[in-house]
């Protein structure tokens, strides 16, 4: 079983597009369990123009968003539910977020997300991001799919 996903397959599951697609590749995928994905942090990212021009740091909220996109990929691929234009996969909670080290232009952000539990369509995840084997962010995420009205 091929556990990797390239950007073309990722785009089949996520509705996000440039400049907000924050997962470049899936390295490993275990259905209903775990995903390991990566985001290449390039100086060409539009947020670096203002955050901060003299010291380019990836905004923490975007690190959490990258983790959420990895969580969405884990859920949607596990369910074999490609992008459905009639629903959106939303955050419903973020707990215990800790930023331990800045993520800089040129870093490769490794995103690890594991399913903690799923109850009544709400998925809870344990997630963390690492750069060069060092933890940069920890978070507990909760997400669900909702129909678009």
Catalytic: which of 8, 16, 28, 51? 51
**Which residues sit opposite 114 in a β-bridge?**
34, 126
For residue 51, indicate whether it is catalytic: yes
How far, CA to CA in Å, does 109 sit from each of 45, 58, 124, 125? 14, 10, 21, 18
Residue linked to tokens 């975007």? 62
Characterize the bridge pairing of strands 108-119 and 34-40: antiparallel
Catalytic residue annotation: 51
């Amino acid at each position: 079983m091929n556990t990797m996903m390239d950007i073309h397959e990722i785009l089949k599951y996520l509705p996000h597009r440039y400049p907000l697609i924050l997962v470049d590749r899936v390295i490993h995928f275990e259905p209903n369990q775990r995903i390991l994905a990566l985001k290449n942090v390039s100086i060409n990212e539009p947020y670096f123009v203002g955050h901060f021009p003299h010291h380019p740091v990836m905004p923490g909220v975007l690190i959490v968003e990258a983790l959420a996109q990895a969580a969405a990929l884990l859920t949607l691929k596990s369910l074999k539910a490609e992008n459905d234009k009639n629903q959106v996969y939303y955050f419903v909670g973020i707990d215990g977020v800790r930023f331990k080290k800045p993520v800089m232009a040129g870093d490769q952000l490794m995103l690890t997300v594991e399913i903690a539990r799923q109850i009544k369509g709400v998925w809870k995840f344990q997630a963390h991001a690492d750069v060069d084997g060092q933890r940069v962010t920890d978070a507990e995420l909760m997400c669900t799919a909702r129909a678009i009205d």
